[in-house]
Each structure stands twice: as C-alpha cells, then as structure tokens.
Structure 1
C-alpha cells in the first residue's frame, strides 16, 4: 500500500472532496492491476471508501514521483490486537496456524483498511481476508485443512489467497476444491493478468 498525493481533477465533486480529505490526512491507497491502454508511466491505484462514506470504489493514477511511502504488510497477529473482540480468537488461531507451518500471513480487505485508517469498514458478517505466502507444496495441504477448520468454526468467514513464490495468487477455497480433481483448474491472478491454471502444476 502507498501513501500518495496527486491530481484528482477527473473525479466528480463529492468523491473528489472525499479523496482530497483522505490525502490531507495522509491515508494510504492500494496498488491495483492496470488495464490494457493504461498509462504505464503512472501507478494504477485504488481507494475503497468505507460504507459510511458510500462504499465507493475509486480508481485513478498517480505519477511515480508522487509516492510518499509504502506501508508494510499487516500481520495477522498485529491485526488481532486491533480487531473487534469477537474476532480475536479466530485471528489468533490463524496466526498460530501460520507459526506452526512456518508461514507469515498478512491481512487485507476490510480489517486492514479499518486498522490503517481508524474508520469503520467491518460490519456484521464481514469476511476476514488473509494472504498466505506459500512456497512449499508440503505446507499447502495442512494449511488448507487448517483454514477450512477455522472458517467452519467462525465467527467470521475466512477469505483470501494463497500467494506463490512467483507472486501469483489463488483463492484458497477455489484452490482447495481444484486440488481434489486430477484436472482441476483455478483462477490465478498477478498484477498483470488473471488466467486459469492446473492446480496440481502450481508447485511443480
């Protein structure tokens, strides 16, 4: 995630006011995947405003020189300390699962934005989104089983992605389902593309 400033002349008046206030407070935006024809000399970024501000999903471009700083990934253990009380046991269990497997999951989505901004993004029924960097196939099966258990016992629905050593990511539920089929495919995303790949070949 990035702290940034830049021209917002292309936005309508109300969203522009919201984003200008966002920038004045030094709050971050997130790098997003660009589209064909985008200006490659600028960074494509996104800003999801919280429900109380209309839940707008804004996308724009920032010149490279306007990036003020990058924001480190938020660990699950750190997120648990600032999460609502009813979610902490589940998050602490996810952090413990990571430690047991030698993995270091990070938080994204509503919990991340709430932690970074102090604004209310989480609502009753919100998912908890986790990123799990995994480079070894031998850790994957136990991780997927552990996530399924944590998801089933709640209270929140666990969502998120398994991120490969290539930087590509796949939704953990979709990957788990695809691995049960000899020819199962899963949607694999990167900053440049999204394509279906054979799940069993991802760690070969």
Structure 2
C-alpha cells in the first residue's frame, strides 16, 4: 500500500472497522460510506497505528465540517484496490474556470510522459458526487513515474501554470518506492538543497541532487 492509493471497502468490512472505532459512526455520512460505494484513501502511518494494520482515511465535504477522518483496517481485511483516478477522468467534476488550466496540465503530462493523478477535493467530488470543491480549493495532483530529466521541467511548468491559472496547483512528485515530495520544493530550490520527502512511515529530508541524479522510473 502507498499513500494516496484508493480502496473499496465491502460493507461487512466497513461495519467491522466501525466496531473498532465506534465514535466514527456518530459522524455524518460515515456509517453509510461503504454502502454508497465510495472509496477510502491510504494515508501515512501514525504512532497509534498497529504495525500490521492498513491506515486509511476519508475527508468530509465542507458542508459537513471538512474533517479528515483517520482509521485503520487489520492487515487481513477484505479490501479491494482501485485504479488511480487520472486528471483527465476527473476533469468533468471540476468548475468551468478550472478547465483551461486542466487542459494545459494534461498536455504537460503528455509532454513529459506522465499521467497526472488527482487527490484532494477534485478526487472526492469525482468519486462521491458530493460538493468538495469550494472557493479557494487547490487542484491536487500526483505525478508518478517522472524520470530525472523531466522532473525539473515538470516542476518549472507547474510553477508557471500556477502563477497564471485560475486555480492554485498543489501536489507531489512520487518516487518509485512511493515516497513523494511537493513539486514546489523542486521548483524553488537548487541542487545542494534538501526537500521534505513523505513516506508511509513518516517524513525525511533528502538532497535534491540525490533525487534527480539518476532515473526514477
């Protein structure tokens, strides 16, 4: 399991999880989440998580408090991995004013050979049909499989689009082992600097030169 992986949870597995976390059943939408067929997302491990558990989360929409809810499943739980959601597939759920920059980002992905994936508000609006995108929402993207030659280009072009587009672009470049860093750190720093790398186990600092010295795909 990697951060941002999506899982479908059968209702029986969901009910068993709620029995382990009974306080969650009192929150809006949570009890019927699995019955609706809505996914959950794999998150970073917390100190309270048992080593064999699968850490997951879901966010409530702004109308329900915009709360991020964390829980875990036993390692042998009946869970089904879902394919990642591409920006192209989720674009229909984005506001009209986002569409021009989305089109440019899709073209950028084609140019660098990486299909941008979504997480954040656009993912959840696409996956659930509920209203997650609000004024000030970011467009959160995950770029997996960029090689060392394209990472700088990718970060630079995202910075350009972010400065001139109608929506703030956020997100991460993911390494082959699932560790990821915010693309802004690469755009705003030079070789010799370090970036904050997020992993399933926590965070660590790594030199930019180490990240881009060789192929990462």
Assess same fold via TM > 0.5.
yes
- Aligned residue in 2 for 1:105: 116
Question: CA–CA distance in 2 between the matches of 1:155 and 1:86?
Answer: 6
Give a deviation string over 1:41-69, Cα, whole Å, max 9, x none: 32111111111112121111112444342
Contact (CA 8 Å) 1:184, 1:199: kept in 2 or not?
A: yes
Alignment pair present for 1:30 and 2:30:
no
Pairwise CA distance, 1:149: 1.4
TM-score by length of 2: 0.86
CA RMSD of aligned residues (A): 1.7
Deviation at 1:203, TM superposition (A): 2.4
1:37: how far off? 5.0
In the alignment, structure 1 residue 190 sits paired with structure 2 residue 202:
no
What are the ranges of 5 or more consecutive residues in structure 2 without an aligned counterpart? 1-5
1:57-98 deviation line (CA, Å, top 9, x unaligned):
111111244434222111111122332211111111100001
The one-character-per-residue Cα deviations of 1:8-43 (angstroms, maximum 9, x if unpaired) are 14343521x531111221211111111235222321
Equivalent in the alignment of 1:44: 55
More off after superposition, 80-89 vs 44-53: 80-89
Q: Which has the higher strand share?
A: 1
Post-superposition CA distance 1:143-178 (Å, at most 9, x none): 112101111111000000011223211101112222
What SS class does the counterpart of residue 18 from structure 2 fall into? Answer: coil
Alignment of 1:102-141 (within 5 A): 102-141=113-152
Query: 1 or 2 for the larger relative contact order (CA 8 Å, sep ≥6)?
Result: 2
Secondary structure of 1:202's counterpart equals helix
1:86 is aligned to 97
Q: Deviations over 1:112-147 (max 9, x none)?
A: 010000000000111000111244221122211210
- For the 8 Å contact 1:79–1:115, the answer to whether it is kept is yes
C-alpha distance in structure 1 between counterparts of 2:173 and 2:116, whole Å? 9
The number of residues matched between the two structures is: 201
2:201 paired with 1:157? no
* Structure 1 match to 2:7: 2
Q: List gaps (5 residues or longer) in structure 1.
A: none
